[in-house]
Structure 1
Amino acid sequence: MIISYNELHNRNLHISGLLNEEKVDIEDKKVDIESGKVDIQDKKVDIESVLTEKVSNFSVKTTTHIRSLFEKFGFDEIFGRSAVMELLDLKGSGASKLLSNLVQAEIIEPVSGHGKGKYKFRK
């Protein structure tokens, strides 16, 4: 068996001058980001008002965990057991039990389409 090698040299890899040498001027237009300010305070939801009747059966520690989770994830973020473990410094079984209790209390709900065991807060 004979193996031949082809050496690559820069002199053989030059591209002809067919490239467009024209530069694009990107400094002509500036975007005004100040005029489109959004007031996010109007959409802020108080977790206390949402959870008042639902957390009455939970301990102070669990209620603190719920508040910590809500501060981190809010209504729009999706989270799973590993995120709960990391945020609250819980072991796997403790995080699973907390999530199970929150689902039963209808505080969080399972989310489909993001993998097994993903949740978000109910509005």
Structure 2
Amino acid sequence: MAKKSDLLPGTLDLLILKTLARGTLHGYGIALSIKRSSDDVLTVEEGSLYPALQRLLLAGWLKAEWKMSETNRRARFYTLTRTGRKQLGVEISEFEQMIAAIGRVLSAPEEA
């Protein structure tokens, strides 16, 4: 049985990009925003989040800058790039196609 926090494969990048489309955040802020936006259903663990952020940085979809956090700690803040905004559109489109396909499978009549 899947835990409530399990993400569908390939959705983490989409969730990060969408979260950063709302504004600049540090890693913990991204994880917290995803958790809050999902009404505590989705939890992104550090072991998944930071490698994903690094991958998105290398792809040019994010940029990062070291700043002081609201708790006076040095943190890396992430911002969506223009290329990242375009990729967000692609990710949303692909996700919507996948959800539509799953919906078709679920609504197909059962064979007797």
What TM-score range do you get, normalising by the shorter chain? Answer: 0.3 to 0.5
Structure with greater helix share of residues: 2
TM-score (norm 2): 0.36
Structure with greater strand share of residues: 2
